[in-house]
Amino acid sequence: MDAEMKEEDKQNIVFSKWALYQFLKPYLLKYESLAESVVIDTAEGLYQNKIYQ
């Protein structure tokens, strides 16, 4: 195999990564907002526990 990649191969790799990202983006965004709400809920829960103790 050549040490240098063909330009075409580079573009294919970039495109496949982009396509994968486009495919996963809705899931990533959903997960991100879910994780954020869990963190916020946990923080609020801890805060309220401190108040009521």
31 occurs within a structural domain: yes
DSSP output for 1-53: --SSPPHHHHHHHHHHHHHHHHHHHHHHHHHHHHHHHHHHHHHHHHHHHHHH-
- For the stretch 4-52, pLDDT in tens is 778 888 888 788 888 888 888 888 888 888 888 888 888 888 888 777 6
Q: How far is CA 7 from CA 4, 19, 21, 22, in A?
A: 9, 18, 21, 22
pLDDT of res. 2: 55
Q: What is the pTM of this model?
A: 0.41
- Number of structural domains, the chain? 1
Whose tokens are 């103790």? That residue is 53
Q: Domain range spanning residue 44?
A: 25-53
Per-residue model confidence (pLDDT) at position 40: 84
In a domain, 50, yes or no: yes
